[in-house]
Amino acid sequence: MSRRVLILTHPTRPAAVHTAESVASGLRDRGMTPIEESEVDDGDIELAIVLGGDGTILRAAELIRGRETPLVGINLGHVGFLAESEVDRVADVVRRAAERDYVVEERMTLDVTVQRPDSDELHHGWAINEASVEKSERERMIEVAIGIDGRGLSTFGCDGVVLATPTGSTAYAFSAGGPVVWPDVEAMLLTPISAHALFARPLVVGPDSRMSVEILARSYSSAVVWCDGRRRIDAPPGSHIDVVRGAEPVRLARLNLAPFTDRLVGKFNLPVAGWRGGREAP
């Protein structure tokens, strides 16, 4: 049986296209079959090798959704939190892909439901990093009510609300002032953006909770729900948005099993000079 491997790259970067050709050649040398985006539906896919930043990895996850195919990212972007390797280790990634020398790690996703006031139809979405509820008019804010598990919690005007997974805690939610959550923590996050309120703090809730945002009828602006910044659902005043743990996780092929702390320090270039460490408990 042919071992098909999807290669997905950033289409506008010449360096990425050149690297993709090198990866494809290496896979063929090891008896594997590299495929392109147009061939995704033609059969099983053992692995997806993604060349680019986190945006390209999110696009790959969208392409192979519904399969059990793991992703491995080679970072060609700036931070690349979802990427597992850097571009100077491409040959090692190809070798380990051929030898199946990786561990598959499942990451939580989100399922999103939007109900508009003028219809009983439900609009569905999903996200790996976050679902962001944002104002659609730059000069106006939205009035929202937020709730957890069917109970109202607070009401305020804001520019938006970010509802995120632990994986997304280092993405949009981080920029909005939310906490960094280790990826093995079973939790979801709610972070208001520029809220006009005394109590509008980031929240961390359990994995079985339901986070809700209502766009109040008195809202000054309509809202837009963005799933990973890629898929849009309009939410006019009176809309109700529910976000729960996704039924289908995303699978990442891990080559480096170092602690998340090391990744955090490396990606953000955090200063650790002076850290001596404590004695381990007996």
- Which residues make up each annotated binding site? 54-55, 59, 129-130, 140, 159, 170-175
- Cα angle, residue 197 at apex, residues 192 and 203 outer, rounded to 5°: 40
Hey, which residues does 114 pair with through a beta bridge?
123, 241
- Which residues make up each annotated binding site for NAD(+)? 54-55, 59, 129-130, 140, 159, 170-175
What whole-number distance in Å separates Cα of residue 213 and Cα of residue 156? 11
Per the structure block, which two tokens stand in for 144?
A: 């929202």
Helices (H), 64-214: 90-98, 172-175
Residue 228: C-alpha distances to residues 129, 130, 165 (Å)? 6, 5, 11
List 41, 54, 92, 120, catalytic entry = 54
Per the structure block, which two tokens stand in for 82?
A: 């979802």
54 is catalytic: yes
Residue 151: C-alpha distances to residues 36, 116, 209, 267 (Å)? 47, 20, 11, 38
Instruction: List active site positions.
Output: 54
